[in-house]
Amino acid sequence: MNKHIPRKRFGQNFLQDASVIANIVHAVNPQPDDVVIEIGPGLGAITKPLLAALKHLHVVEIDRDIISRLQTEFPAERLSIHAGDALVFDFASVAEGKLKIVGNLPYNISTPLLFHLATYGQKVTDMHFMLQKEVIERMVAEPSTADYGRLTVMLQYRFEMENILHVPPEAFWPPPKVDSAVVRMIPAPGRCGVAVDEALLEQVVTTAFSQRRKTLKNNLKGLLDADGFAALELDPGLRPENLPVEDYVRLANYLSGKGHKAKRP
C-alpha cells in the first residue's frame, strides 16, 4: 500500500508509540461482545488491537483515502466503516444497547465533538479519548480555576471524568505541537442535580461565561435580578468560574420555575 500523507485539515497525527497504544486499549478494556465505536481510526493504531479483543468493531472516518485502506485491510464482517463526519454521526444508530466510544480525536474539532458526544450520555458505558492536554485540563477543572468554563460545567454535569494518561508529542507521527492526554468519561447522571430543561442549562452556562472577567450580575443581566440572586443565595459579585456545577443547575431550574424556556434555534 502507498504511504499515506497525513492531512492537516483532518487533524491527522497518527499514534506510533506501542506502549501508549497498549495503555489506551488496556484502559478501554474491550470484551469480545462489547459494542465499540472508534472515532477516526486513521491507519489503525488503536483499531487493530481493539479488533484483536472484539468480535466486531465500528469506526467513523471522514477521509476517503483512509476509508479505502481500511476496506482493503479489514473484512467487513469484523469492521463496520461508517464513512462521514463524526460531528453529525448518530452514535445511537449503531446498536440497541450500550456502547463504548473511543478515539484519538482530531484536535481541530475536539470541543464541538465533545458537545455532540455529551448528548449520548444515556447510551454509553464509557468513553476514552486522546485530546490536547489543555482540553482535558478544562474538562476536569475545579471551580475558581482558570481552566473552569463552559466545557467543564456541561461535561461535569453528565460525566465523571479522569485524566488517565499523559502522552508526549513524540508518540505521534507527525508529532503535534502540543502535549496530549487521555481522558476517561463515565456517565453519572444526577451527580450535580438534574436540570428540568437541559437546553436552558446550556444557555444559562453560555450566557454566564460570555465574559469571564465580568461578574455574574453583569453577565446574567436581564435573566436574573437581585431577587433571583437572593432566592438562590448567590453572591452577584461572583465571577462565572466561581460557581460549582450544582449552582448552575439550581440557577437553570429556578429560571425554569419562573417560566423561562430555552430559545430553540
Residue 61 annotated as lining a ligand binding site? yes
Beta carbon of residue 249, minimum distance to ligand SAM (angstroms, whole number): 31
Cell of 55: 468480535
Q: Write each residue from 10 to 39 as x if it is in contact with ligand SAM (CB under 6 A), else as -, in one continuous string.
A: xxxxxx-----------------------x
Determine contact, residues 50/28, Cβ cutoff 8 Å: yes
* Nearest residue to ligand SAM on Cβ basis: 40
- Go through 163-194 and write b for each residue having 16 or more CB atoms within 10 A of its CB, e for each that does not: eebebeeebbeeeeeeebbbbbbebeeeebbe
Which one of residues 20, 30, 35, 40 is an interface residue with ligand SAM (CB under 6 A)?
40
Which one of residues 26, 78, 85, 225 is an interface residue with ligand SAM (CB under 6 A)?
85
Q: How many CB atoms lie within 10 A of CB 38?
A: 24
Q: Residue 249: helix, strand or coil by DSSP?
A: helix
Q: In whole angstroms, what is the distance from residue 138 CA to residue 135 CA?
A: 5
Q: In whole angstroms, what is the distance from residue 216 CA to residue 236 CA?
A: 6
Which one of residues 49, 106, 187, 240 is an interface residue with ligand SAM (CB under 6 A)?
106
Q: Which is nearer to ligand SAM, 11 or 240 (CB)?
A: 11
Residues making up the annotated binding site for S-adenosyl-L-methionine are 13, 15, 40, 61, 85, 104
The residues binding ligand SAM (CB under 6 A) are 10-15, 39-43, 45-46, 60-63, 66, 85-87, 104, 106, 109
Residues making up the annotated binding site are 13, 15, 40, 61, 85, 104
